Structure 1
Amino acid sequence: MERFAWKAKLLPGAKAEYIRRHNEIWPEMTELLNNAGIHNYTIWCMGDELFGYYEAEKGVDFAAKAQAGSPVVDRWNEYMKDVMRMEIDPQTGTAYQLEQVFFHP
């Protein structure tokens, strides 16, 4: 199982709305995540910094391609742009993957 981690920033005063939107995540978005093999998806917040992590049972490349080519993800990203900023890797079309420097199983 490969792991993927990303970071982003909340816009000022947007934390409550960011949480609300994730508490009401669209069923088609959870279906896309499941089909992409994305599990144990977790997002943490510290101040205005977001840190996301998920496990990709079909591999990170497969998950990235499934997300990058999805109109659902495009709509979600548009929906979220007024509450957060995330840099997108032009090579994958998804968030930049953080470099893993330590792992303890």
Structure 2
Amino acid sequence: MGARRILDQETLDEIIRRIVEVARPEKIILFGSAACGKMGPHSDVDLLIIKEEKDLRKLTARVYRRLYGVGVSVDLVMVTPQDVERYKDSHALVIKPALREGRVMYESA
């Protein structure tokens, strides 16, 4: 078994800060191995970002560019609130486990 990787709070805070700066999302949810403290040496940071946006592809590209140099691999899943409502019970998508097992890292006021 590989050594566990630790995601320190400072790095996570920086990732969230950069995402909020660019995307101004409604909510950011940390899910996967980082959310439950089981990151391996090759794990990435999985984030579900909920944002009302017409062109999520362009916004996702902007966020990835802003995350360059943050020091860990980040995997973003950008969805609209309508996507969350529509697919929250689907076993085929990451929305359901992210909502069920994830940790809310940011929520707009």
Q: Which band: TM-score by shorter chain?
A: 0.3 to 0.5
Structure with greater strand share of residues: 1
TM-score, structure 1 normalization: 0.45
TM-score (normalizing by structure 2) = 0.44
Q: Which has the higher helix share?
A: 2
